[in-house]
């Protein structure tokens, strides 16, 4: 690819940031108060707009309901537009109320299942009012002990609830179903891996796709293989980007395993370049979202670092010589093909990205540009007390 073609691709990159990453959110053990952390959803939108202003590739912010609940969602959407960004994925919360102790949409109590479905439908209304295109669903539902509940019955409850929500979605929007193989349930999780999520999405209809969270896999799982498979089935809807050393650590994406992130982007770029295939069409509509709760890191700096790590991995994937790689693969040249891929990964793309930033009138040193803004909000907002665990309503 020519430099101008690479610049055009980098300019089209879209990394959505999460509202909860700007506030005092953290681990399930302790949430530390951070100077300048956003106190309201309006300040979260302000912070997301700032990250887009500096990065040039983060034009939307995801919301979590009811953490980001407001009286007028149309007004919130208009506020985001005025700040130069849009409202991204809407994320319901069906895991914090006491009623959900035994699950939400898989709960053995039909009244609790109804409560959860009603909240999901409320979030469809939020999606419509804000102009969002994606409803992003993650469920803590599961069991801790063998025999605790009937697993087939729970699966049917999940399917029934998802079908109701899927069918309520307006045209042009999607249901993105996430999965997690354990935690907080430790014996069985109702949406336990990409196969279970894919099975539900295949049954639900065209507007249902799978969301891949990089932290929700067993050690050594080949995530890029899952990505490739879902692309070819037309069912890869989006990512929650983060990194993990052990489990769902919510670390900055690309910080623990940059090669994995590069390989994931390679599969996406390779699919997008495949003329006329389902994988190509699917790849062009994938939603790329950060999902991290920065606990000990400065909020704004951590978010910017996450976004830029995605940009660097993507830039390297764009440098893969796809024609040479295909030739080597077809010839059975095992190490030759491997070297072609690794040549791109080992390329230092910092000067390329700096040139792209100059070409787009963006600050060449983004962290230097961020510093005065971060200091300003830290002074203006101060420190707000944070409780343990995830944010409360």
pLDDT reported for residue 30: 82
Assess contact for 120 and 169: CB atoms under 8 A: no
Sign of CA dihedral 94, 306, 286, 246: negative
Read off the pLDDT band of 1 (50, 70, 90): confident
Read off the pLDDT band of 382 (50, 70, 90): very high
Closest CA to 144 of 112, 95, 182, 106: 182
pLDDT reported for residue 386: 64
Query: Is it the case that residue 7 has pLDDT exceeding 90?
Result: yes
Separation of CA 139 from chain center: 15
pLDDT mean over 150-171: 98
Assess contact for 265 and 311: CB atoms under 8 A: no
- For the chain, give the secondary structure using H, E and C: CCHHHHHHHHHHCCCEEEHHHCCCCCCCCCCCCCCCCCCCHHHHHHHHHHHHHHHCCCCEEEEEECCCCCCCHHHHHHHHHHCCCEEEEEEECCCCCHHHHHCCCCCCCHHHHHHHHHHHHHHHHHHHHHCCCEEEECCCCEECCCCCCCHHHHHHHHHHHHHHHHHHCCCCCEEEECCCCCCCCCCEECCCCHHHHHHHHHHHCCCEEEEEECCCCCCCCCHHHHHHHHHHCCCEEEEEECECCCCCCCECCCCCCHHHHHHHHHHHHHHHCCCCCHHHHHHCCCEEEECCCCCCCCHHHHHHHHHHHHHHHHHHHHCCCHHHHHHHHHCCCHHHHHHHHHHHHCCCCHHHHHHHHHHCCCCCCHHHHHHHHHHHHHHHHCCCCCCCCCCCC
Percent of the chain beyond pLDDT 90? Answer: 94
pLDDT digits (tens, 9 = 90+) for 301-344: 999 999 999 999 999 999 999 999 999 999 999 999 999 999 99
Q: Where do the structural domains in the chain lie, given as residue ranges?
A: 3-381
Phi and psi of 241, rounded to 5°? -85, 130
Q: Before 188, cis peptide (omega within 30)? A: no
pLDDT digits (tens, 9 = 90+) for 265-274: 999 999 999 9
pLDDT reported for residue 390: 46
Beta bridge partners of 195: none
pLDDT digits (tens, 9 = 90+) for 124-133: 999 999 999 9
pLDDT reported for residue 26: 67
pLDDT reported for residue 25: 78
pLDDT mean over 364-374: 98
Q: Please count the other Cβ atoms lying within 10 Å of the Cβ belonging to residue 42.
A: 16
pLDDT digits (tens, 9 = 90+) for 41-87: 999 999 999 999 999 999 999 999 999 999 999 999 999 999 999 99
pLDDT reported for residue 384: 83
State the Cα–Cα distance between residues 308 and 255, nearest whole angstrom. Answer: 11
Q: Before 320, cis peptide (omega within 30)? A: no
Closest CA to 43 of 18, 23, 67: 23
Provide CB contacts within 8 A for 133, sequence distance 6+: 127, 172, 173, 174
Read off the pLDDT band of 389 (50, 70, 90): very low
| Higher-scoring residue by pLDDT: 24, 179 | 179
pLDDT mean over 101-115: 98
Query: Is it the case that residue 393 has pLDDT exceeding 60?
Result: no
Query: Is it the case that residue 391 has pLDDT exceeding 80?
Result: no
Give domain 3-381's CATH number out of 3.90.640.10, 3.40.50.1820, 3.20.20.150, 1.20.120.1770: 3.20.20.150
State the Cα–Cα distance between residues 388 and 245, nearest whole angstrom. Answer: 22
pLDDT reported for residue 385: 73
State the Cα–Cα distance between residues 276 and 100, nearest whole angstrom. Answer: 45
pLDDT mean over 336-365: 98
pLDDT reported for residue 250: 92
Specify the pTM.
0.96
State the Cα–Cα distance between residues 239 and 288, nearest whole angstrom. Answer: 5
What is the C-alpha end-to-end distance of the chain, expressed in Å?
48
Mean pLDDT taken over the chain: 96
């Amino acid at each position: 690819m020519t430099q101008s073609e690479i610049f055009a691709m980098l300019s089209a990159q879209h990394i959505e940031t999460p509202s909860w990453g700007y506030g005092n959110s953290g681990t399930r053990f302790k949430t530390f108060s951070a100077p300048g952390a956003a106190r309201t959803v309006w300040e979260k939108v302000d912070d997301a707009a700032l990250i887009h202003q500096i990065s040039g590739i983060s034009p939307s912010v995801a919301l979590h309901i009811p953490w980001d609940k407001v009286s007028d969602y149309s007004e919130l959407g208009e506020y985001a537009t005025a700040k130069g960004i849009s409202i991204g994925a809407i994320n319901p919360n069906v895991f914090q109320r006491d009623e959900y102790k035994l699950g939400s949409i898989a709960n053995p109590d039909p009244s609790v299942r109804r409560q959860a479905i009603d909240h999901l439908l409320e979030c469809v209304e939020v999606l419509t009012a804000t102009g969002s295109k994606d409803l992003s669903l993650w469920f803590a539902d599961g069991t801790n002990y063998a025999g605790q509940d009937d697993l087939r019955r729970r699966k049917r409850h999940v399917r029934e609830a998802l079908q109701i929500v899927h069918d309520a979605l307006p045209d042009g929007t999607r249901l993105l179903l996430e999965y997690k193989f354990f935690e907080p349930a430790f014996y069985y999780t109702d949406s336990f891996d990409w196969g279970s999520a894919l099975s539900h999405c295949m049954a639900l209809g065209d507007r249902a796709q799978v969301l891949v969270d990089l932290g929700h896999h067993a050690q050594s799982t080949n995530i890029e293989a899952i990505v490739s498979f879902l692309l070819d089935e037309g069912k890869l809807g989006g990512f929650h980007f983060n990194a993990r050393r052990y489990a769902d650590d919510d670390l900055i994406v690309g910080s623990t395993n940059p090669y994995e992130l590069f390989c994931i982007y390679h599969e996406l770029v390779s699919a997008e370049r495949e003329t006329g295939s389902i994988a190509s069409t699917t790849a062009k509509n994938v939603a790329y979202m950060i999902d991290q709760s920065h606990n000990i890191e400065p909020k704004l700096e951590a978010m910017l670092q996450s976004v830029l790590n995605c940009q660097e991995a993507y830039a390297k994937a764009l440098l893969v010589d796809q024609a040479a790689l295909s030739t080597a693969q077809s010839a059975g040249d095992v190490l030759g093909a491997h070297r072609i891929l690794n040549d791109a990964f080992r390329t230092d793309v910092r000067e390329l990205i700096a040139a792209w930033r100059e070409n787009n009138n963006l600050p060449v040193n983004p962290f230097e540009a961020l510093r005065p803004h971060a200091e300003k909000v830290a002074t203006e907002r101060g420190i707000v007390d944070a409780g343990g665990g995830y944010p409360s309503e």
